[in-house]
Amino acid sequence: MALCAKKHPPEEERRARANDREYNERFQYASNCIKTSKYNILTFLPVNLFEQFQEVANTYFLFLLILQLIPQISSLSWFTTIVPLVLVLTITAVKDATDDYFRHKSDNQVNNRQSQVLINGILQQEQWMNVCVGDIIKLENNQFVAADLLLLSSSEPHGLCYIETAELDGETNMKVRQAIPVTSELGDISKLAKFDATDCTSSGGTLVFCSGEVICEPPNNKLDKFSGTLYWKENKFPLSNQNMLLRGCVLRNTEWCFGLVIFAGPDTKLMQNSGRTKFKRTSIDRLMNTLVLWIFGFLVCMGVILAIGNAIWEHEVGTRFQVYLPWDEAVDSAFFSGFLSFWSYIIILNTVVPISLYVSVEVIRLGHSYFINWDKKMFCMKKRTPAEARTTTLNEELGQVEYIFSDKTGTLTQNIMVFNKCSINGRSYGDVFDVLGHKAELGERPEPVNFSFNPLADKKFLFWDPTLLEAVKMGDPHTHEFFRLLSLCHTVMSEEKNEGELYYKAQSPDEGALVTAARNFGFVFRSRTPKTITVHEMGTAITYQLLAILDFNNIRKRMSVIVRNPEGKIRLYCKGADTILLDRLHHSTQELLNTTADHLNEYAGEGLRTLVLAYKDLDEEYYEEWAERRLQASLAQDSREDRLASVYEEVESDMMLLGATAIEDKLQQGVPETIALLTLANIKIWVLTGDKQELLQSLLVETAVNIGYSCKMLTDDMTEVFIVTGHTVLEVREELRKAREKMMDSSRTVGNGFTYQEKLSSSKLTSVLEAVAGEYALVINGHSLAHALEADMELEFLETACACKAVICCRVTPLQKAQVVELVKKYKKAVTLAIGDGANDVSMIKTAHIGVGISGQEGIQAVLASDYSFSQFKFLQRLLLVHGRWSYLRMCKFLCYFFYKNFAFTMVHFWFGFFCGFSAQTVYDQYFITLYNIVYTSLPVLAMGVFDQDVPEQRSMEYPKLYEPGQLNLLFNKREFFICIAQGIYTSVLMFFIPYGVFAEATRDDGTQLADYQSFAVTVATSLVIVVSVQIGLDTGYWTAINHFFIWGSLAVYFAILFAMHSNGLFDMFPNQFRFVGNAQNTLAQPTVWLTIVLTTVVCIMPVVAFRFLKLNLKPDLSDTVRGQAVCFGGRSPCVRKPSGLNTPVAAVSVRYTQLVRKKQKAQHRCMRRVGRTGSRRSGYAFSHQEGFGELIMSGKNMRLSSLALSGFTTRSSSSWIESLRRKKSDSASSPSGGADKPLKG
């Protein structure tokens, strides 16, 4: 990626003075201008031609053109090469110019955005490209941040502001940033204008610091870290990431804020994460380059053979005919004649690698790209976003993918939390049953619960189980206490802009979902102050005194509030992870605990994020004593956190269990089905999720495992799920070794007692591990992955991971994502695909062979860096299994046919050389040579390359095993190439010798000799065009009107041009060019000629027909079987008999496979049973995974509400439930069970 600023040596530190451009310009920091375009009007032609002639093929054809300009060695006119070459260069130049135009357009759109910059004490409108380091910028609500800024002040109290980072990490929940206290009061422009470097301190002539100066770390790509120091008023103030606003973020729910530009343009963390743009080539491209070199070597060998033949012929025979066939003036020996003949044959035989090959490939790829863009089944109606092929060079690679690397948040999930189920006093709510007691499917469910009784209900909230609302309305004390806890125990902020219009400002969507659920069931959190919480309980406003917030942190994995109700009773409400909270319950709740634990296992088994709720009554005397000890602990100078934790631990014990919640981290629609289908296609899926660094490793693993189960990457059918959490190199190595040993032990005995050797080489070990019996999965966190990616351990990690069916890496940095992808590319030599939606995925997307960006969200960085984009993960299955497979199939068939037809065309010259004294005379006339690849045979092969398909698209989705030939590279490889070449050579032999043998003895109708050069040329050329046309008809698997028109139209055009070139009209206009008047008419009027053409065609084609017939009947491919079934069962008329291949063993295996696939797909639509896991709980802990807002709320710093509507914080409840993702098998009716109601204390 090119940028406006010049490159400079790496910085050791960054110095930026506020309002002092002259000082900052001395460091030559990068400007805020972005340039991704490559050309301008003056440089386009020379630069583009230079780039194009770096292609070996273009240079090769330019070399041939120069040879053709030498009269002594050229037997063809110059236009036979220059016309195709100019055509190729022009088409490529137009394509490059179009792409660069859109890059210019995108650059201008970004660089010309307006920003308010403080210049000379006045706010002025400046374009983004003119913003410099040290400038102070004013941002307003909903504006994008122009550069990496140090937050100075904002409209919110205490310098708070709220941002959305969707473009950076794909997360749509709000994040808080806060200015340091010393600058938070600089909200006035006059004060900001004085925030400069007028007061500098020096020591011994050396500058120490200036007021309003920031010294910080140099530019880097760490999105969650920043370290710096602000020098202001002769004091130093530390700066952290909490004080920074990064480019790409959007200011939300904050009227305005001011920031100091620290990093601009390419130095911003957003651009630092973009990575270096790599030129991507497909494996077929690389193979073609190798094959072209081989063909060139073959061409040189043919030239040498014919040149030697020429030298021998001239020495032995040619010298006797010097009177009739004199040598050219420059030729003085037979050896030199052979040397010139070599170059002449290089020119004549160059069509074995025609330049039209590269043009045709680009046209076919362009057509495939348009098919992706036009695919209505990949168009998202909700977001009005189509799929887009942002490159035209990788389409066939989509049909060869073996590894998919996916982000989680925003890619697999929507980052929308939905209150799905709950357990209250031993009864589970959330499932709906029909009259027979079976669980109702999503489409069979009645209308959702009607919350019209509650005027403050959120209309977007959906819940289907009416029994929960009935319990609330009937005044069930446990249910009321359950929702009372949810309405009180949180750190959500509320704003009511208009009467009844509540907007919740939640730190995470989890808390927003829980508070919204309580709101809809009649317990509406209305407002709060630092010391009170007001809740409307079933229409009655009740204000609770907030005594304490025991905030969440990574170790506690729970939060509590202590409140006093209007009656004066003090109660502690707590919610937290089941693994933590269930051990802190009173022993009297054991029976209820067992029932709730069963519900938790059921919820966790469905991939839901579980949370346990409990309470405890406190008497006044105990609370006063405890509050005093808490105060002393909070004032301690040493071990403050440990002392507070001990005080919290004491009060959060012997609690009474209320129940549990189950929140769905809402997956994107179709994610489990897509993953299951791609897995059946032998594609391995690795999830690389970049959760925040504050996450505790156990929470990370729990969340990752839950996502794995809900996405169907992990199933209970798996033999084992390995979890690697080591903190040191030795621990990680040991955990990986144990995982490999367990996999090897399960497959130690193979066949009839044969065992693997104990010691295997690295390559053998990898192959053995990948063939182990059973299905395994690997979950590894970021700390462990950092060690696993070290040079001495990366192979061990790769061997272990590649033996697993699924791999989940959590808490990985953007760099680690790219390293994992590069590791697989380096050692597995497999095609990789990376898919993500945030700037933290850009490096991974650019590193993989194919990068896919999820569009439709506000973040666009992943899309801009991607090769393909669409709005939902589920479209990936269609992109790969339909478009990718078809593109690979079409390209392979195109290349096989193209090499075949050109060898059949060119090798005729080689055989003719032995009968013309090796004189470099051509069989065909020069116009036929020019038009053969451009006109006569170009359109039919293009039609096949663009439209052909072996099975319909629905069959491609039903039989994912059809995808495997691309992964194994079966359709076009070196073996297939040599088969095509052999067929072409075989055709050329028959094409030359059959007419040659016939013409040696044949006569015309009038008895004269038939054999003459032009008649022979017409016969061979006509036979060639007919044979290759019949061959492409046999190769075409899917006939369209376009195929018919192009194939038969090309034949018609050939005859039309043939007769036109031998007509009187052209002879009259160009007598020196078209001398053989009437030759075509006279030759094709002879029955002998047509019999020769028919004989040649039959002999060339019949072996191919016979081979394919035998292969179809004796050893059909899966595609043959599927196509036979489609013909049999998909037609309008009933099938009379099975396809002939179905009676064979191989076909039977294929049919059996398809039956197994269908059975497995059908089973995967039901919910997964939790076999053997009843004793383990997987807590998703539905909390924000970072330090809570408790301290901020109790301090009252954020209690002044903004005048803006907080629409961005509205709980995003989905309008529909993807219940099909969680359906369970229920063979018998099961009624809801619950324990007896237990009275609440107090």
- Please check whether residue 118 is in contact with residue 131, taking contact to mean a CB–CB distance below 8 angstroms: no
Q: Cite the beta strand spans of 459-569 per DSSP E.
A: 493-496, 502-505, 523-528, 532-537, 540-550, 558-564
Q: Is 610 helix (H, G, I), strand (E, B) or coil?
A: strand
Other beta carbons within 10 angstroms of residue 633's beta carbon come to 18
What separation, in Å, do the N-terminal and C-terminal C-alpha atoms of the chain show? 68
CA distance 876 to 872: 8
Q: Where are the alpha helices (DSSP H) in 1115-1177?
A: 1118-1130, 1145-1163
CA distances from 501 to 285, 496, 527, 1210 (A): 59, 5, 12, 10
What per-residue string of b and e applies to 51-79 under the rule 16 or more CB within 10 Å gives b?
Answer: ebeeeebbeebbebbebbeeeebbbbeee
**Tokens 């749509």 belong to which residue?**
172
Residue 1201 gets which letter from DSSP?
Answer: P
Please tell me the distance from the alpha carbon of residue 99 to that of residue 109, in angstroms, as a whole number.
16
Question: Whose CA is closest to 188, among 137, 214, 153?
Answer: 153
What is the helix (H) or strand (E) element at residue 140, kind and residue range?
strand 136-140
| CA–CA separation, 655 and 1031 (whole Å) | 81
Q: CA 522 to CA 475: how far, in whole Å?
A: 11
* Cβ neighbours for 548, distance < 8 A, ≥ 6 positions apart: 561, 562, 627, 630, 1194
CB atoms within 10 A of CB 1190: 19
- Taking the C-alpha atoms of residue 188 and residue 190, their distance in angstroms, rounded to an integer, is 5
CA distance 879 to 404: 13
7: DSSP letter:
P
- Look at the alpha carbons of 455, 460, 464, 465 in this order and tell me if their dihedral is positive or negative: negative
Among 158, 149, 148, 155, residue whose Cα is nearest residue 179? 158
Let me know if 681 is exposed, middle or buried by CB neighbors in 10 A (0-12, 13-18, 19+).
buried
Nearest to 475 by CA among 429, 519, 522: 522
Please tell me the distance from the alpha carbon of residue 550 to that of residue 846, in angstroms, as a whole number: 44
Tokens of 360: 């045709």
- With tokens 């052979």, the residue in question is 338
CA separation for the pair 90, 120 (Å, rounded): 52
Tokens in use for 1024? 């060639």
Distance CA 874, CA 411 (A): 10
**Mutual orientation of helices 1013-1035 and 1041-1061 as an angle, nearest 10°?**
180
The vertex-1130 CA angle with 1127 and 1135, nearest 5°, equals 65
The SS3 call for residue 833 is strand
Measured CA to CA, the distance from residue 1115 to residue 1113 in angstroms comes to 6
Residue in 135, 407, 431, 510 annotated catalytic: 407
Distances (CA, A) of 1154 to 394, 950, 1123, 1147, 1149: 29, 17, 12, 11, 9
By residue count, the chain amounts to 1242
Tokens coding 127: 């374009």
CA 962 to chain centre: 22
Instruction: Please indicate whether residue 792 is annotated as part of the active site.
Output: no
Single-letter amino acid code for the residue at 28: Q
Q: Catalytic residue positions?
A: 407
